[in-house]
Amino acid sequence: MPVKTAAIIGAGIAGLTAALSLARHGIRSEIFEQAEALTEVGAGLQISPNASRILDTLGVLDRLRPVWLEPEEVRLVSGSSLKPVASVPCGSFAKARWDAPYGAAHRATLQKVLLDAVSGQALCTLRLGQHIDITSKKALEEIAAQEFDLVIGADGVWSKARAMVPDAPSPLFSGNIAWRFSIDEAAAPAILDKANVTAFLGSSSHLVCYPIRENKTFNIVAIVSGSSASRDWDATGNKAQRDQMLRGFAGWNSDILRMLESQEQASFWPLYEMKAGRWHNGSDAVLIGDAAHAMMPFAAQGAAMAIEDAFELAGMLATRSPAETFELFEKRRAPRIARLKQRAAFNQFAYHARGPIRLARDLVLSLRPPQSLAADMDWIYGYRAIG
């Protein structure tokens, strides 16, 4: 029989979206979050049409529109010469082609919008400061002093809920480091585009930049190869690590190099992805978002996949038992996630190309009109989640 109550571990984008999606079907949820307060942690993120369409259905997109940026295009640019390589149109084009907008905002802004919606929903309860370290639904029920029909693990790469799922995926360091920082528009180099998302490409490194309207800054993510066994995702890198990062951008445009050299407080994020594994235990626990399938950011779909997961899982639970839902959920979602991981791997290869491969890449892309490149994104952006 369909569920009536759910416990959600984690109050990030996946967990909050899951709570709202469940409430849409009359399912009550309790969200358990280990943080004492939800603070402004993280950096910018891109919200593509496949995700913004869901946010609109959940009634939260209108709260984002006044503060997020809707870029006219996503631009690929040479990090050394600043020569344009290619672009994918967004703006009004995205709305017309994919029937939903493409936006960029600070992660904390999206989280706050979702949190406000959850706080105003009678079927959702948020419990902060809950250090959940459990291996079964029964153990959680003893802590919460109530019963649940299922547990949804939405607590990220280092998920504690994953202990409830035998043969669950495990984190694997990707060999890449993301350096994240923001810079005030007034202090930013003139080469940074105030209206669009720009990916600067180089050999074995790339840098993504876009403006964050709500605080008049640019969000910068610089990705290079590196080594780390750290689980920290918001630590400040030391001098040796920053020097290693700068070596990855040797030969780049001087304005970009000066900008990177000045960022002594940039956040050092080792990038982890998930090995293959089961997303559920077949009875009462299921994983969504990064807890199930963290991927590299080269397709800018991490947050979008968490949103899709949450929405589709809730829709299935509205008419099915947990056991039936879990099998259907993984069967439906796993092929899409696998394809996106392949796309991210291809993008990494293309973005970090060097020598003859880079020249061939630039030639091929220069011969394709923007609308043709947009068509390549139809399977991602045009996807309509069933909820």
Residues 6+ apart with CB under 8 A from 122: none
Burial bucket for residue 44 (CB in 10 Å: 0-12, 13-18, 19+): buried
In a domain, 143, yes or no: yes
In a domain, 366, yes or no: no
- Write out the two tokens for 18: 């899951």
> In the prediction, which pLDDT does 28 show?
97
In a domain, 19, yes or no: yes
CATH number for position 152:
3.50.50.60
pLDDT by 10s per residue, the chain, length 387: 679 999 999 999 999 999 999 999 999 999 998 876 776 556 789 999 999 999 999 999 999 999 899 999 999 999 999 999 999 999 999 999 999 999 999 888 999 999 999 999 999 999 988 887 888 888 888 888 899 999 999 999 999 999 999 999 999 998 898 888 899 998 899 999 999 999 999 888 999 999 988 888 899 999 998 776 555 555 666 777 788 888 889 999 999 999 999 887 788 888 999 999 999 999 999 999 999 999 999 999 999 999 999 999 999 999 999 999 999 999 999 999 999 999 999 888 888 878 878 888 877 787 788 888 889 999 999 999 998
Edge-to-edge strand list for the sheet holding 124-127? 124-127, 28-32, 5-9, 150-153, 285-287
Full-model pTM: 0.94
**In terms of residue numbers, what domain contains 49?**
5-72+106-170+275-349
> In the prediction, which pLDDT does 42 show?
60
Separation in Å, CA 21 to CA 42, 54, 171, 173, 317: 23, 9, 27, 31, 10
- Amino acid identity of 279? W
Please state the separation of Cα 229 from the chain's center in Å: 22
> In the prediction, which pLDDT does 233 show?
52
> In the prediction, which pLDDT does 26 show?
97
d(CA 51, CA 38): 22
CB of 135 within 8 A of CB of 38?
Answer: no
In a domain, 280, yes or no: yes
Separation in Å, CA 177 to CA 230, 252, 267: 11, 18, 10
In a domain, 140, yes or no: yes
In a domain, 198, yes or no: no
* Number of domains forming the structure of the chain: 1
> In the prediction, which pLDDT does 221 show?
92
In 3D space, the residue among 207, 181, 198 whose CA is nearest the CA of residue 268 turns out to be 181
In a domain, 268, yes or no: no
Which run of H or E residues covers position 29? strand 28-32
The phi-psi region of residue 255 (left if phi > 0; otherwise alpha if psi is between -120 and 50; otherwise beta) is: alpha
In a domain, 286, yes or no: yes
Separation in Å, CA 55 to CA 101, 106, 107, 314: 11, 15, 14, 14
